[in-house]
Each structure stands twice: as C-alpha cells, then as structure tokens.
Amino acid sequence: MRRSGRVGWVVFALSLAAMVAALVVWAAATGEPLTPDIVLYPAAYVAFGAVGALIVSRHAANRIGRLALATGAMGSFVALCDSVARSVQPLPGQEWAAWFATWGFPATLAPPLMLILLFPTGRLASSRWRVAAALILVGVLGLAVGNAFTPRMVDYPALQNPVGIPAFAGSLLESGGIAWFPLLGGAIAAAVGLVPRLQRARGIERAQLKWITFAAALQGLSWVILAVELPGTAGELAKYAIFATLLLIPVATGIAILRYRLYDIDIVIRRTLVYGVLVAILAGIYVALVVALQSVLSQIIGGDTIPVALSTLAIAVLFGPLRARVRDVVDRRFYRTRYDHKSVLEAFGTRLRDEVELDNVSRALTGVAGHAVNPTSVAIWLRGGAPSSSNDGS
C-alpha cells in the first residue's frame, strides 16, 4: 500500500477513535441517553472518513477522497470536543473544548460543500462556479472567526470563551452573524448546480452525478419536511431523516468514485420514486378512511378499533393495484424508454395469442426486437427447420 493510502487509513482510525470517545463521554458525562439522532449524526462523519480513506488508498491524488477524509476527521474531533464541553461535571480543558467546538462546527461545513461543488472530477465545472466556491469559503471563514472570538458561546452559556474579544459582541460577525448569508448562498448554488451539470454530463460522469444528486435531493427534501414542523412521532422521524439522508452522501460518493455497480442508481431512483409516492398516497387514504369511518361508526359502535381495522384492510387490498398504477405513471413520466419497450412487449404478447400464421409471428417478433434493442440484424431459429433471418437494418 502506498504511503498516502496508509496515511488515509491512519487518519480514519484516529477519527473513528475520536468519535467512539465522543459517544462514551456523552453518555457518561452528560447523563443523557444516546438517541437515534445523536448516533446517526456521528455515523455520517464516520462514513465520510471511511469513504475518504478508501478512495485515497486507491486514488491518492483524488480531491474528492481528501475532502471526504477531511470531513470525517474534522467532524469526529468537533464531536469529541462538544461532548467534553457539555459535561455536567467540570473537566480539564472544558472551556477550550467548547471554544474549539464553537468555531470547529462551522468549519466542518466547508469540505462536504466543496465536495459537492467539485464532484466527481475534483475540478470546478467552469470558471463561473468560482463564485459559489468563494461564497462557501468566505461564509465558513466568517462563521469560524465570528464564533471563535465572540465572548459568549451560544451553545455553552455556562462557559466563558477563553479568547473572546469584547468588540465582537454586537458586531456583524457576532456568533457568525452575516457570514451565514454567503455560506447559504454558496450551499444552494452547489446543490442546485447539480441539475444543469447532470444534464450536460455524459457517460461515466453522468452516472456518478446521478448518485450524488440523488443523495443531495433526499437531504434537501428531509429539510423541507422538517420545516413543516409535523407533530408528534412524525416530527421526530423527520428529524431522524435529516441525519439518515446525510449518511447517504458519503455512501453515494464512495459508490460513484469507486464505480461499484454504478448504473444501478437508475433502479434505486425508480424504486424510491415509486414507493415514496405510493407511501404518501396510502398514508393519505388511510388517514381519510380512519377519520371518515370514525365519524360514521363512532355513534353506532363506539371506539376506534373497527375503523382502524377496516382502514388497514382497505390499504392492504389497495396496495398491489395502486403500486402497479404508480409504477406505470413513474415509468411513463421519468423512464419513457422503459415504458415504451414494456408497452411494445405487452402488445406483442396480446397479438401472439391470436396469431396462427408462422410468417406473421416471425415478422412481428423481428419488429419487436428491432424496436426494443435496435440490433444491426435479427435471426430467428426454428427447431427442425432452416433459420428465418432479416437483415433489413431494423
């Protein structure tokens, strides 16, 4: 293994050790349980580090691998400092740990955002993207400086900033201040810019961009759902979805850069669309049925058991037909070629049941093959007879 590869794995090992220590300190020093969001967020950083080490070990000069490795390392050590800073029992260096976590967290935003902007080649798509890169770097720098020198640490009010400067209190950079605006602008440009880059890309690069665009779209959708402020359990699940979809970004990066089963992304996207739409429709039907049946039957039988049972039974009956219908709609809208081929094959199957002339069957089969796969020639072999062939270019 080359030296750079060994360095990558050493950095990842240190990052993993720091993240494990962060979770142990959190559980022991804060007395709070390890909820799913507390575990999923560090898991995303560990995934970034693992993917980065794997890429660097195979492609030492790959900037995407280095950015992923930096994301994992920075996130892990910030998490460790955060756990120490939140300890209810005084710990040595607690103020310095809080100070590092205060400005270190904004600094961890730069590598993953630059990763999206430079993906997959490690270079900006064109000189126009320098503006987005500059916004990200200026925003992160402003946040880091503002948080580092603001006397009051917002996330750790019981602790005093050891290097706080009074002049930063009330300034435009207090706790980051206006620096959030260029960072937000650069982040939106990097995410939205994936769409035109995907449209222009071809071949391997297009397949790579599909993976990262898919992961980024799910992350953005999770934030939109969280902003709706769903009540109860739905709101908690939306919060967990933020961290779960964040975990998809390093996974998608690793798959795309290492090109493992690269083109299966079309299958993943198709199934996500189908089952995402299906779940949304079924959830709406279920809620409507429960409410309607409760209003009708509550005066007759009382209780909620029968309306819920009837609604569940109706959903079970609707699942199969509705899934087929949604799948057809998705294929027709987003996978037109697949839908056309499927329609041709279904039409051929219908015609074959009614056809008795062998020559007609041969011509129909040749036409279907030509439409579906566009071969340079078609040959049909009939058992016990001579081959029937067609080389008409269809």
Query: What percent of the chain is modeled with pLDDT above 70?
Result: 70
Strands 388-390 and 378-380: antiparallel
Q: CA 74 → CA 91, 250, 253, 275, distances in Å? A: 22, 15, 18, 36
**Which range has the worst mean pLDDT, 80-89, 248-257, 363-372, 382-391?**
382-391
User: What's the 3-state SS for 57-70?
Assistant: HHCCCCHHHHHHHH
Say whether pLDDT at 135 is over 90: yes
Residue 26 is given by DSSP the state I
Query: In Å, how far are 43, 196, 197, 249 from 211, measured between CA atoms?
Result: 20, 15, 13, 9
What CA–CA distances, in Å, run from 254 to 4, 48, 214?
18, 9, 14
> CA-CA distances (angstroms) from residue 34 to 22, 39, 338?
11, 7, 45
Query: Mean pLDDT, to the nearest integer, of 316-334?
Result: 75
User: Tens digits of per-residue pLDDT, 264-320?
Assistant: 555 655 666 676 677 677 777 777 777 777 777 666 665 556 776 777 788 778 877
User: Is 156 within 8 Å of 102 (Cβ atoms)?
Assistant: yes
Helix (H, G, I), strand (E, B) or coil at 110: helix
Are 25 and 87 contacting, i.e. CB atoms less than 8 angstroms apart?
Answer: yes
Q: Look at 128-142, 150-164, 365-379 and tell me which has the smallest mean pLDDT.
A: 365-379
Please give the radius of gyration of the chain, using alpha carbons only, rounded to the nearest integer. Answer: 28
CB atoms within 10 A of CB 158: 11
**For residue 112, cis peptide bond before it (omega within 30 degrees of 0):** no
Question: How does DSSP classify residue 30?
Answer: I
Nearest to 366 by CA among 355, 357, 375: 375
Q: 149 pLDDT band (50/70/90 cuts)?
A: very high
pLDDT, tens digit (0-9, with 9 covering 90-100), for 234-267: 667 777 777 778 888 888 888 777 765 554 555 6
The rounded distance, in Å, linking the Cα atoms of 101 and 87 is: 13
Average pLDDT, the chain: 77
| List of domains in the chain | 3-260 (1.20.1070), 278-334 (no CATH), 338-390 (no CATH)
Q: Quote the pTM value.
A: 0.65
How large is the average pLDDT for residues 12-39?
A: 80
pLDDT, position 359:
64
What is the per-residue pLDDT across 30-71, written as a single tens digit (0 to 9) for each? 777 767 767 777 888 888 988 888 888 877 778 888 999 999
- pLDDT digits 0-9 by tens, 191-226: 888 888 888 888 778 878 888 888 888 887 777 777
